[in-house]
Amino acid sequence: MSDASGEHPDVASPGPGAAYAPRPVSGMASDPFPDAPTRDAFRQDAPTPGPRDPGPDEPGLREPDAWQADAGLVAPGRGGGLGDVLQRRYLLRLVVRRELRARYQSSLLGFGWSYVRPAAHFAVFYFVAGKFLGMSHRVDHFPIFMFSALVLVSFFNETLINATHAVLGNAALVRKVYLPRELFPVASLLVSLVHLLPGLGIVVAVAAAWGWTPSPAALGSALLGFLIVATLGLGLGLACAALHVFYRDTDKVVDIATLVVTWSVPMIYPWHVVEDTAPHWASELYLANPLAEAVLLFQRAFWWPTTDGTFLFPPHLTRDAVAALAGSVLVLVVGQYVFARLQRRFAEEL
């Protein structure tokens, strides 16, 4: 309450020239805001508080490298190569399904083209080489001799051609989404494998009709030949896919190479034709071709058991085939290296 003079009884009137100092109100703490910054805190010469050490239950401040390691981030153009593809098998299945769906979308026969294509190739080569050139009279069971090689050569050619276009054909995904870029050539290999299975089924059915029965030697030869072609096709496909991003005429070179491959393996003629007509060094160079070794293995697996067994294959075929597989693995390593070096600039070129 105020007295008669109108002044509050708890507030003393300062004298002339005295600084005004309010008297604390009873019941209130002397410093109602103990954590508020003082005037000294705003002085320019006030010491800057140092960094606070994080407590035992606080994550604290970490370097950007720690964030990157914890988040699993990968620097652009750097990855685990084919190992990343194996770790992302789910993405690989999605890309393979996407490729198959896009290839047969709005088509009349759909997946049936996988049977029509090898049948058309077989008809052309059989009538040209077997009938017109008379190879069916010189080689026993010539259809199975030729078709067992044709399915393997077609698998290699399709793998190499599709892998060459794999990265460029998926430019939108390469620019916008991080994926192991090797995933696209590997998907091309698997799509070619899907197309190989119908032709291989026809080979087995026709060979069985001529008395073929599976054996460990036959199955081992077929497996070794397939590994040579798949490894070599993937290695060359990785290198060509990377080069095709920078040099758009790479696919023209690949088309010519597949044409040469078709006629440089013993598919429509026995291998000894080269030995009988070419110099010795040319015959050795011909047999040093990993694809020729793979074709001979497939013929030994599916065609030779249906014959009288008098046909002679090159000496040391299995040993040379193992060496061809080792060379194909080396090509795969080199192809992966080329792909890894060039993929850092894929986004810029695409």
Q: Which residue has the higher pLDDT, 49 or 293?
A: 293
234 in a structural domain: yes
Q: What is the pLDDT of residues 190-205, one digit of tens each?
A: 999 998 998 899 899 9
Digit-coded pLDDT (tens) for 123-172: 888 888 888 878 888 888 999 999 999 999 999 999 999 999 999 888 88
Structural domain range at position 283: 75-349
CA angle 26, 28, 29 (to 5 degrees): 125
Share above pLDDT 70 across residues of the chain, in percent, rounded to a whole number = 77
Look at residue 58 and tell me if it is in a domain: no
Q: Is residue 287 part of a domain?
A: yes
192 lies in some domain: yes
Q: What are the angstrom distances between the C-alpha of 13 and each of 23, 24, 30?
A: 11, 14, 21
Residue 183 tokens read as: 């995933």
Q: Per mean pLDDT, which range of 70-79, 241-250, 266-275 is the poorest?
A: 70-79
Is 1 a member of any domain?
no
Give the model's pLDDT for residue 304. 94
Q: In the block, which residue shows the tokens 């060094």?
A: 281
Q: Between residues 204 and 14, which one has the greater pLDDT?
A: 204
Q: How many domains does the chain have?
A: 1
Query: Average pLDDT in the 283-292 region?
Result: 93
- What integer pLDDT is reported at residue 83 of this predicted model? 82
What value does the mean pLDDT take over residues 265-288?
A: 91
Q: pTM of the prediction?
A: 0.75
Start-end of H helices in the chain: 64-71, 82-87, 89-104, 113-125, 135-138, 142-164, 166-169, 171-176, 183-209, 216-246, 250-263, 272-277, 280-287, 290-298, 317-342, 346-349
90-94 contacts, C-beta under 8 A, 24 or more apart: 91/179, 91/183, 92/183, 92/186, 92/187, 92/190
Check if the beta carbon of residue 335 is closer than 8 Å to that of residue 234: yes
